[in-house]
Amino acid sequence: MEWETVIGLEIHVQLKTQSKIFSGAAVDFGQEPNTNACAVDLALPGTLPVLNKAVIEMAVQFGLALNAEIGYRSVFERKNYFYPDLPKGYQTTQLDEPIVGQAKVKIELEDGSEKTIRLHHAHLEEDAGKSLHEDFAGKSGIDLNRAGTALIEIVSEPDMRSAEEAVAFLKKIHSIVTYLGISDGEMSQGSMRCDANVSVRPLGQEEYGTRAEIKNINSFRFVERAIGVEVERQIDLITDGGTVVQETRLYDSDKNETRPMRSKEVANDYRYFPCPDLLPVELEESYVQSLKESLPELPDAKKKRFCSDYGLSSYDAGLLTQERPVADYFEEVATECKDAKLAANWINGELSAQLNKEDLEISNSPLVAKTLGQLITRVVDGTISGKQAKQLFETLWTEGGEVNQTIEAEGLKQVSDSGAIEELVNQVIAENPQQVENFRSAPEEKQKKMFGFFVGQVMKLSQGQANPAEVNKILKVKL
Ligand code: ADP
Ligand code: MG
The CA 211 to ligand 1 mean position distance, Å, reads: 8
Q: Which residue out of 211, 248, 266, 269 has the highest number of ligand 1 atoms within 8 Å of its CB and is therefore the one to mutate?
A: 211
CA distance readout (Å), 384 to 230, 339, 348: 52, 15, 21
3-state secondary structure of 37: coil
Q: How far is the CA of 8 from the centre of ligand 1 (A)?
A: 6
Rg (CA), the chain: 29
CB of 156 within 6 A of ligand 1: the answer is yes
CA nearest ligand 1 atom 1, residue: 267
Q: How confident is the model at residue 347 (pLDDT cuts 50, 70, 90)?
A: very high
In the predicted structure, residue 386 carries a pLDDT above the cut 60: yes
The response to whether residue 211 sits with its C-beta less than 6 Å from ligand 1 reads yes
Cβ within 8 Å of residue 289, ≥6 positions away? none
CA angle 316, 317, 321 (to 5 degrees): 120
470 — pLDDT class (breaks 50, 70, 90): confident
pLDDT confidence of residue 214: 96
- Residues 354-380 pLDDT 10s: 999 999 999 999 999 999 999 999 999
Kindly state the average pLDDT of the residues 65-90: 96
Q: Has residue 336 got a pLDDT over 80? A: yes
Give the mean pLDDT of 464-478.
86
The rounded mean pLDDT for the chain is 94
The predicted-structure confidence for 403-430, as pLDDT tens digits, reads as follows 999 998 887 877 777 888 899 999 999 9
Q: Ligand 2 centre and the CA of 419: distance in Å?
A: 74
pLDDT confidence of residue 262: 65
Residue 100 DSSP label: B
With cut-offs at 50, 70 and 90, classify the pLDDT of residue 216: confident
Least confident of 234-243, 275-284, 363-372, 453-462: 453-462
Residue 205 has what pLDDT?
96
Contacts of residues 410-419 at CB distance under 8 Å and 24 or more positions apart, as own/partner, are 412/384, 412/388, 413/383, 413/384, 413/465, 414/382, 414/383, 414/384, 414/385, 414/388, 414/465, 414/466, 414/467, 415/462, 415/465, 415/466, 415/467, 416/382, 416/383, 416/467, 416/470, 418/470, 418/474
pLDDT single digits (tens) 175-185: 999 999 999 99
Mean of pLDDT values over 317-323: 94
197 Cα to the center of ligand 1, angstroms: 6
Q: CB of 199 closer than 6 A to ligand 1?
A: yes
Model pLDDT for residues 136-161, shown as the tens digit of each residue = 888 999 999 999 999 999 999 999 99
Percent of the chain past pLDDT 70, that is, above it, reads: 99
The confidence band for 267, taking pLDDT boundaries of 50, 70 and 90, is very low
pLDDT tens figures, 12-30: 999 999 999 999 999 998 8
Distance CA 389, CA 392 (A): 5
pLDDT at residue number 263:
59
What was the pLDDT predicted at 78?
A: 97
Confidence at residue 215, expressed as pLDDT on a 0 to 100 scale: 93
